[in-house]
Amino acid sequence: MNNFIYDVPTKVYFGENAVSNLHTELKNYGKKVLLCYGGGSIKKSGLYDTIIDEITKAGSEVFELSGIEPNPRIDSVREGVKICKEQNIDVLLAVGGGSTLDATKWISAGAKVEHDAWDFFSQWADVDDALPVLTVLTLSATGSEMNCGGVISNPETKDKIGRLARPLLPKASFLDPTLTYSVSKYQTACGCADIISHILEVYFAPEKDMYMLDCVMEGLLKTVIKYGEVAINDPCNYEARANLMWASTWAINTFVKAGKAHEWSCHPLEHELSAIYDITHGLGLAILTPRFLSYCLNEENVDKYVQFGINVFDIDKNLPPMEIAKLSIEKLSGFFFNTLGLQSSFTQVGINSEHFKIMAHKSCEGECINGFVKLYPEDVEKIFEMCL
């Protein structure tokens, strides 16, 4: 097991009406607030009015950046940076799903530098500082509320790039499960697939020495499988929405990762899909993950699949290992495509093999993905083909 440091000081307010604490936190970070949100769901739900009341209670002045898109674009980041600089913004408040949170985080870094914000991705420009970010989460999926990552798309270069940078870590996040009642069945399903993928990217690892974390991850997976179905059928079920929300946060706030050093595999593949086809992140992962697991399965790593199948899906442990492994992948597919009702192939979502070569090359950054199993561009192409 590798050494690691666990240090994630985001303060979390969890539960119904958690947002009523927002004004207290806002007061800690200055007077001028840039409120960032997406395409309007927060206006439809009435959350916008609650947020404005909280900002008023804090005695702060509000500026707004709206229209942040799913798979957020660098142009939204640039627009936010411009407002921060022109208005001398003190603190950023992101209200929405992962896309809004991610864009806001990169605005917070862009506000502190003179160069274009895309340089953070194209040149890997240093991220030494950022304006403070607070978040109000409205969709359980990405874990952006308690991690220092953010993924930004550039339609001009057809890139979608994620990067971690410590200064982007939110100072405080407000997690009220009732704010996710209005999330559509489709986005709920995509969110569940995303959470599961975050866990499996870590669970299927070359290292075999973290029993304690394996148990935690199996618990998180079972939580999403149990409550994903409930939330799809009963969107205003508090228990289901609360379990999904807290599971999504803990799936990717570095706790389960500990010292595991291997690279993630399905996420870089999915980012290439979203970059070209602008598909929903969780949907791409749902289609890719079972094929990735099938492609990687071999006699040396079958035990991990057996552990997954028995502990997460209660598959009969007396069956032959390869059979358990294959059944576990079938069960996962059944959850994504039957229980959650997600589309199951690239063909169904209008993706053909036209760009596979370049996508495979870019996802391996020209070399390979050094993950659970080493993947070279030719392997990635084969996985893409299995998804057709």
* Binding site residues, ligand NZQ, CB under 6 A: 38-42, 70-71, 96-100, 102, 138-139, 141-144, 147, 149-151, 162, 179-180, 182-183, 187, 191, 194, 252, 267, 281-282
Q: Looking at beta carbons only, is 151 or 332 nearer to ligand NZQ?
A: 151
Residue closest to Zn ion, measured at CB: 194
Q: What b/e string do you get for 84-108 counting C-beta neighbours within 10 Å, with b at 16 or more?
A: beeeebbbbbbbbbbbbbbbbbbbb
Between residues 102 and 194, which has the closer beta carbon with respect to Zn ion?
194
Shortest reach from residue 59's CB to ligand NZQ, in Å: 27
Task: Give the Cα separation of 9 and 146 in Å (integer).
Answer: 9
**Phi and psi angles of residue 148, each rounded to the nearest 5 degrees, phi first:** -105, 25
Tell me the residue ranges of DSSP E strands in 47-86: 61-65
Point out which residues bind Zn ion (CB under 5 A). Answer: 194
**Complex with Zn ion: residue 104 or 248, whichever CB lies closer:** 248
179 binds, among ligand NZQ, Zn ion, none (CB under 5 to 8 A by kind): ligand NZQ
Q: Which does 235 bind (CB under 5 to 8 A by kind): Zn ion, ligand NZQ, none?
A: none
Token digits of residue 283: 């949907």
Q: Which is nearer to ligand NZQ, 141 or 369 (CB)?
A: 141
- Output the CA angle 9-12-16, nearest 5 degrees: 180
The continuous run of DSSP H or E covering 323 comes out as helix 321-333
Smallest separation (angstroms) from ligand NZQ to the CB of 282: 6
CB-count burial class (<10 Å; 0-12, 13-18, 19+) for 354: exposed
Q: Measured from the CB of residue 276, what is the shortest distance to Zn ion in angstroms?
A: 17
Spatial contact of 175 and 137, defined as CB atoms under 8 Å apart: yes
CA 268 to CA 359: how far, in whole Å? 10
Instruction: Report what 141 binds from Zn ion, ligand NZQ, none; CB cut-off 5-8 Å by kind.
Output: ligand NZQ
d(CA 150, CA 168): 8
CB of 285 to ligand NZQ, least distance (A): 8
**CB nearer Zn ion, residue 35 or residue 193:** 193
347 C-beta neighbours (distance < 10 Å), count: 12
Shortest Cβ distance from residue 112 to ligand NZQ (Å)?
19
Residue 201 touches which member of Zn ion, ligand NZQ, none, C-beta under 5-8 Å by kind: none
- Of 146 and 315, the one with the shorter C-beta distance to ligand NZQ is 146
Judged by beta carbon, residue 13 or residue 313, the one nearer ligand NZQ is 13
Minimum CB separation from ligand NZQ for residue 135, in Å?
A: 10
180 binds, options Zn ion, ligand NZQ, none, Cβ within 5 to 8 A by partner type: ligand NZQ
Q: Which one of ligand NZQ, Zn ion, none interacts with residue 149, CB within 5 to 8 A by kind? A: ligand NZQ
∠ CA(189), CA(192), CA(198), 5° rounding?
145
Dmax (CA) of the chain:
66
Residue labelled with tokens 């969709």: 139
Residue 223 interacts with which of ligand NZQ, Zn ion, none, CB < 5 to 8 Å by class? none
CA atoms within 13 A on the CB side of 277: 22
Q: How far is the CB of 368 from Zn ion (least distance, A)?
A: 21
Residue 62 corresponds to which tokens in the numbers above? 């509000």
Name the minimum Å distance from CB 27 to ligand NZQ. 26
